Structure 1
């Protein structure tokens, strides 16, 4: 452990600003004498004490509650003191200053905590694992109810439990392979006898289920970036307003009204969608509008999905159709082939009844088509469902836990190493040393999710499961 982790730390634990209650938290090893001197009494463990918080002259800074949590039964696993006072920033800063002043004699090396250091100590002291530590930040940052519930499940250990189950199954499989490698004189084919191939297949199936739920959790955390693109006056700003349910963007019949992006985060079934309205795409001599169009293309290139908006009232205008075709060609060159595009045909309320939607897709295989009216709302629900489908969201997602991009990357690594392991197991002449290495790498990838990097766990399993000295 680094020397800085041995220092006692202090910080204001509530959000900046004024509130009814504010909390100052102190954490460290053996801070009992400091607590007694600060409070003027020895508080009983895990009981709230109402008392004055006095300055160096004995004058009350404030009256509030003090709670003392002796190690290891605390958030950080160390001794923890919480001072709950009125939530004014000056009051809380005075309490922090008093603690630091008193620490000169009663608690040397007390210092201000760094960002996230209380949670870091909880992880280092095995109160939580790395995935749970990340879930704390995700719970605080949750932008939807579904995201908050999923982060809560991760914090309670649901995600970690799945990872540990995969790891335990993987360790057992590694144990069989290592035993076959280390004790060939026993002439026991551990792999066939223990159905190693079947174990690996079941492990891969379990991994697939975990990946599916993790992908849903990543969607809840990150959401997707959806860019509305198209010619001027196609109804892009109206569509943004309709999706958001508020007048966010200025809507006028004047072409080029939107000069810069307008962004709003909405949620559909708990999934955050970061919807961006952009400047109309066209040739322009106006310098300000040209900057807006350039920014629109920047947003399009960075999009997770694009809504290509068309005006049904102008589908018989050759000039308009040609301009749409040029935009379509540009989109083909600018977008990655995996980025989904939805052709949205707007203004069904104003279009002629025989105004047909052009049949040719913009890019075959990755274009959906929706007809709607941003003004009346007709067809909006169909568009919402399309967006969720393209995002990969599945409605029956109860039990989803929050996940991050690094978790998904680690799970993909596990999957890759298990596929290599399967190739070795099913080979006519399996290279057991390569199989063992692939399984080891798979376990390392799993361990990176929860922050467990110990290498002695496998050795313990081998000694407890086999009669090594026989």
Structure 2
């Protein structure tokens, strides 16, 4: 359970705004609120009052209300003060609240107290942070579903299924001498398979939530001059990377952040993968392999005008353990009679051929 301290914090983001909020939570919240307004707050009623300093002079005025425990976010007595959104005013209000007996809340302490008081479970507490930090509408909707308890409900149901299955098996073992084969009908196998299926579904949902919140990391790999930087520029929507006919122009990792159908993407353009004695290019290749190992998706680009070379095949063999999507670039340089690899996607950043299919390939099931 939380300690007996009363905590306070500014609940609105830094900067200037029309409204600024100071929140107080704990056993002395009502007492502090009453002194601050020189009056008496009543639960679940909003009042417009002056907020006073130690000499009785007004620091600000605005709305304030009191939520009595346990009917509040934190499960404790909570007083919320809504004044003007100037940082100096809010600092003065918070300082006055602390003079009256509150202490500054630690980061996340209001949510921590809500969790310890049984107002939210761990998944919901984490969903609050995900909701606040969501970088897309899809991420916000997913976080809201978790906050409403849908994800927690699935986990609780799975735990209950496993507990019941364990009790059934233990009962079968305890009564093994009764000549009743509890396990003969195959129900245990069916129930265990059902639990495993639910577990895989939950793991998949958790991974989807991670992607919606953190985004996918896409690394573009291939030989020098395979069209990697051109693809980065196309996806970014501007010339983020220098594109020339000179092999080895890109010698470091170039990163761009974009949003595709509401999914945040981190696109990494890497140095061309080849053996080199040049120390700078050699370091670039080392970093490229490092980015490949950490990526969610690897796009292996092959110059369609040249075709798959032994060097391309060597890179592909190295990527077999991590997985990759084979992409033939510069398809605009092919004539109609050219044979195409049926297992690969052909794209052109000049004509736009295959780019919509590439976007679908990048997103996968999202």
TM-score surpassing 0.5?
Answer: yes
Equivalent residue for 1:342? 325
How far the C-alpha of 1:227 sits from its partner, in A, is 0.6
Q: How many residues align structurally? A: 366
User: Which residue, out of 91, 99, 102, partners 1:101?
Assistant: 99
Equivalent residue for 1:114? 106
Partner Cα separation in structure 2 for residue 16 and residue 229 of structure 1 = 41
Q: Which runs of structure 2 are paired with 1:314-393 in the superposition (5 Å)? A: 314-315=306-307, 325-326=310-311, 328-330=313-315, 332-333=317-318, 335=319, 337=321, 339-357=322-340, 369-389=344-364, 393=365
Contact conserved, 1:27 with 1:76, CA < 8 A, in 2?
yes
Residues 163, 250 of structure 1: alpha-carbon distance in 2 compared, 3 angstrom cutoff: same
Q: Deviations over 1:140-170 (max 9, x none)?
A: 2222211211110000000111112222233
Equivalent residue for 1:217? 209
1:168 aligns with 2:160: yes
Deviates further, 145-154 or 211-220: 211-220
SS at match of 1:234: coil
Partner Cα separation in structure 2 for residue 303 and residue 313 of structure 1 = 27
1:63 aligns with 2:48: no
Residues 203, 348 of structure 1: alpha-carbon distance in 2 compared, 3 angstrom cutoff: closer
How far the C-alpha of 1:197 sits from its partner, in A, is 4.9
Equivalent residue for 2:87? 89
Q: Which runs of structure 2 are paired with 1:216-295 in the superposition (5 Å)? A: 216-283=208-275, 287-295=279-287
Contact conserved, 1:232 with 1:280, CA < 8 A, in 2?
yes
How far the C-alpha of 1:200 sits from its partner, in A, is 3.7
How far the C-alpha of 1:385 sits from its partner, in A, is 2.0
Equivalent residue for 2:5? 7
Larger helix percent: 1
Contact conserved, 1:29 with 1:78, CA < 8 A, in 2?
yes
How far the C-alpha of 1:79 sits from its partner, in A, is 0.8
User: Which residue, out of 116, 126, 138, partners 2:130?
Assistant: 138
1:27 aligns with 2:2: no
Structure 2 alignment gaps of length 5 or more = none
Partner Cα separation in structure 1 for residue 323 and residue 254 of structure 2 = 21
Partner Cα separation in structure 1 for residue 317 and residue 222 of structure 2 = 14
Residues 91, 378 of structure 1: alpha-carbon distance in 2 compared, 3 angstrom cutoff: same
Residues 215, 291 of structure 1: alpha-carbon distance in 2 compared, 3 angstrom cutoff: closer
Contact conserved, 1:20 with 1:87, CA < 8 A, in 2?
yes
Residues 30, 176 of structure 1: alpha-carbon distance in 2 compared, 3 angstrom cutoff: farther
Residues 60, 328 of structure 1: alpha-carbon distance in 2 compared, 3 angstrom cutoff: farther
TM-score by length of 2: 0.87
SS at match of 1:292: helix
Contact conserved, 2:217 with 2:266, CA < 8 A, in 1?
yes
Equivalent residue for 1:36? 34
Partner Cα separation in structure 1 for residue 260 and residue 6 of structure 2 = 45
Partner Cα separation in structure 1 for residue 285 and residue 184 of structure 2 = 64
SS at match of 1:6: coil
Q: Deviations over 1:107-146 (max 9, x none)?
A: xxx3211111110110000001001111111112222211
TM-score by length of 1: 0.69
SS at match of 2:331: coil
Equivalent residue for 2:140? 148
How far the C-alpha of 1:99 sits from its partner, in A, is 1.0
SS at match of 1:5: coil
Contact conserved, 2:115 with 2:125, CA < 8 A, in 1?
yes
Q: Deviations over 1:183-203 (max 9, x none)?
A: 779887766799555544443
Partner Cα separation in structure 2 for residue 195 and residue 286 of structure 1 = 65
Contact conserved, 2:30 with 2:79, CA < 8 A, in 1?
no
How far the C-alpha of 1:264 sits from its partner, in A, is 2.3
Residues 62, 284 of structure 1: alpha-carbon distance in 2 compared, 3 angstrom cutoff: farther
SS at match of 2:299: strand
SS at match of 1:73: coil
